[in-house]
C-alpha cells in the first residue's frame, strides 16, 4: 500500500463494496485523523503507524456505529497503545531538534 492512504483503501480494509456508507466513512476518516492529531500533535499521512492507527480507528467506529454498549475494548487498548508509542516518538523527535 502506498502512502498517503486512499479512501478506496480504507473501504477495502472495511470490506465495504457499496456506496451507501461513503459519507459516513468519510466522516469517520476525518474523525480518526483528528483523534490522532489530538493525541500526538499532528497526523502525518506518510507515517505508516499513523495510517495503521487511522485504519484501526475507522474500523472500530464503523463496526460499532450502532452504539449498543458492546464497543470491543480490546481494539481500543491497541489503538491507545499505538498512539502512546507514537506520542513518545513524536516528543523524542521534538527534543532532539532543539
Can you give the pLDDT at residue 73?
56
What digits encode the pLDDT tens for the residues 33-85? 999 998 888 999 999 999 999 999 999 989 988 765 555 555 677 788 888 88
**What are the backbone angles phi and psi of residue 54, rounded to the nearest 5°?**
-60, -45
pTM of this prediction?
0.74
Q: What is the pLDDT of residue 87?
A: 82
Report, as an integer, the average pLDDT of 88-94. 71
pLDDT (tens digit, 9 = 90+) per residue, 12-23? 999 999 999 999
Q: Give CA–CA dist 90/2, Å, rounded.
A: 22
Counting other chains too, the contacts that 32-39 makes at CB distance below 8 Å and 24 or more residues apart are 32/57, 32/58, 32/61, 36/83, 36/86, 39/83, 39/86, 39/87
Q: Residue 48 is placed in which grid cell? A: 505508516
Amino acid at each position: 500500500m502506498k502512502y498517503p492512504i486512499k479512501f478506496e483503501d480504507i473501504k477495502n480494509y472495511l470490506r465495504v463494496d457499496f456506496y451507501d456508507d461513503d459519507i459516513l466513512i468519510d466522516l469517520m476518516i476525518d474523525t480518526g485523523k483528528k483523534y490522532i492529531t489530538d493525541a500526538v500533535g499532528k497526523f502525518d499521512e506518510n507515517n505508516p503507524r499513523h495510517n495503521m492507527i487511522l485504519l484501526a480507528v475507522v474500523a472500530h467506529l464503523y463496526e460499532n456505529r450502532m452504539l449498543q454498549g458492546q464497543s470491543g475494548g480490546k481494539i481500543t487498548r491497541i489503538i491507545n497503545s499505538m498512539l502512546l508509542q507514537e506520542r513518545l516518538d513524536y516528543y523524542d523527535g521534538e527534543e532532539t531538534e532543539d
